Amino acid sequence: MDKSLKTESFRGFLSGEIVIPPDKSISHRSLIIGAVASKQSGNKINIKNLSLGEDCLSTLKILENTGVKIKRLSDRELELDAKSAFKNPDEVLDCGNSGTTARLLCGLFSSLNEFECEFTGDESLKKRPMARVIKPLSMMGAKILSNDNKLPLKIEGKKLNAITYFSPIASAQVKSAVLLAGLNALGVTKVIEPYLSRNHTEIMLKYLGAKIKTGKDADGFWTTVEGNSMESKTLEIVGDISSAAFFMVAAAIVQNSKVLIKNVGINPTRTGILDVFKQAEVLFSILNERTVSGEKVADIEVRYSPNIKPFRIKGDIIPRLIDEIPILTVLATVANGESIIQDAFDLRNKESDRIKAIVEGMKAFGVDIAEKKDGFVVSGNGEISSKAIVETHLDHRLAMSYYVMSLINKKETVIKGFDCVNTSFPEFIRLAEKLKQF
């Protein structure tokens, strides 16, 4: 079956209102932390508005395989019962395309006494580095066998000892893996990171009553956690700003567009894109701010922005927009000058080598882009008119970025392997079609 998507040039505009799907990072955490809280409290936990993307379903299936009972109450609402979890699974646990599943569960499972399991994943995930979690977890005493620090992994869980870990990178997956292991370790576990990465784990643990503290000092941003009993509380998940980002940029660059995106998480560790929008003079408003299960949320309106300025992204903003760099590159192509993205080496370790893949994809659209070790330089000129054939390399964020690019391409675009959008955003095309007006 040909899984390519072919689009002709689009002569209309985008208009209307959409509700964005639930946040993927928070959804993974609601399943994992929800299961731990359910086990500790002996009560069931309800999750409202869970992401149904393939990544979160990988986490869900793995938890079911370890004895967590999951009842579907309605479309996106579940009830978790982990009273009799966590049991040794009788099959290899498949993390699919999801780095968050593999790394966070590696933290939790390696801290469970006498728990044994094996992880695998798809071709993209099998290439991604796991040393970043194996190293700190081994320092805590974990026993993890790997294929040269890559999947497949074998975990022999045991009681771990708390450590203080200076993470060399600002990675929420590393921080979360160590904190989840710390929930079952002897003593107080501390993680220090150079910049603040997304803090959904900390917010959820605090919300459920775990013993967790956060702060900043000369060493960096620190979090401490120690074992105690969490409460059972309903977890409601806000919309994903990383999914909203595709429509935010599309509305800014397609002439005459105006789009209202409802229920978008605006946790400050995720809103680097809004800082870039200010730099680039994108026209947008934040409306109806509120808090849901400890997370900030709002509606975001974006209007066509005729004078997009070039922008520069580097340093501490990188973890706040790491997943938005592919779509921000699309924004850079219409800016009137040179945009520079640097300090983003870790993009090479995502679902694809995103630096290499973006440069290759943008060149296919005729964009003037130069690859650097830790980023790239894009010279915008506003006019995209190339018959483009691009590869997604099993990377959902590239697929959706190329789709947005196709909206401003005056010629035909073919996106190969487009179906990988299902990883995070199965409703993407339906919502895009809803907004398209002719």
The least distance separating ligand S3P from the CB of residue 274, rounded to whole angstroms, comes to 17
Return the sign of the alpha-carbon dihedral for residues 54, 60, 66, 67. Answer: negative
Near ligand S3P by CB under 6 A, which window of 64-72, 133-141, 166-174, 386-394?
166-174
How many helices (H) and strands (E) the chain has is answered by 13, 24
**Looking at beta carbons only, is 49 or 176 nearer to ligand S3P?**
176
Q: Which of 323, 343, 346, 353 is catalytic?
A: 323
Nearest residue to ligand S3P on Cβ basis: 25
On whether the CB atoms of residues 115 and 155 are closer than 8 A, the answer is yes
Q: 113 to 142, contacts with ligand S3P by CB under 6 A?
A: none
Q: Tell me if 352 contacts ligand S3P by CB under 6 A.
A: no
Q: Give the max Cα distance, the chain.
A: 62
Q: Quick check: is 395 catalytic?
A: no
Q: Contact region for ligand S3P (CB under 6 A) — 75-83, 170-178, 179-187, 289-297?
A: 170-178
Instruction: Give residue 38's identity as a one-letter amino acid code.
Output: S
Least Å distance between CB 248 and ligand S3P? Answer: 17
Q: What is the rounded distance in angstroms from the CA atom of residue 373 to the CA atom of residue 214?
A: 33
C-alpha dist (Å) from residue 365 to 5, 9, 64, 149, 398: 15, 13, 43, 36, 13
* Candidate residues 27, 49, 65, 100; the one interacting with ligand S3P per rule CB under 6 A: 100
Phi-psi sector, 236: left (phi>0), alpha (psi -120 to 50), beta? beta
97 binds ligand S3P (CB under 6 A): no
The least distance separating ligand S3P from the CB of residue 13, rounded to whole angstroms, comes to 30
Q: Which of 40, 171, 333, 423 binds ligand S3P (CB under 6 A)?
A: 171
The token pair at 249 is 């940029």
Interface with ligand S3P by CB under 6 A: which range of 89-97, 147-155, 167-175, 277-285?
Answer: 167-175
- By the rule CB under 6 A, 173 interacts with ligand S3P: yes
In the region spanning residues 316 to 335, those forming contacts with ligand S3P, defined by CB under 6 A, are 322-323
Instruction: Give dist(CA 394, CA 121) in Å, integer.
Output: 12
CB of 258 to ligand S3P, least distance (A): 29
| Both structure tokens of 310 | 């070039």
- Residues contacting ligand S3P: total by CB under 6 A: 12
d(CA 248, CA 398) in angstroms, rounded, equals: 16
Among the listed residues 5, 14, 25, 205, the single contact to ligand S3P using CB under 6 A: 25
Q: φ, ψ for residue 272 (rounded to 5)?
A: -55, -35
One residue of 197, 305, 406, 413 binding ligand S3P per CB under 6 A: 197
Nearer Cβ to ligand S3P (176/263): 176
By beta-carbon proximity to ligand S3P, the closer residue of 308 and 328 is 328
Smallest gap from Cβ 346 to ligand S3P, in A, equals 6
What percent of the residues of the chain are helix, what percent strand, and what percent coil, each to the nearest 5? 35, 30, 35
**Tokens of residue 145, six digits:** 């066998």
Distances (CA, A) of 223 to 2, 58, 174, 333, 356: 47, 27, 12, 38, 34
Enzyme catalytic residues? 323
| Site of interaction with ligand S3P (CB under 6 A) | 25, 28, 100, 171-173, 176, 197-198, 322-323, 346
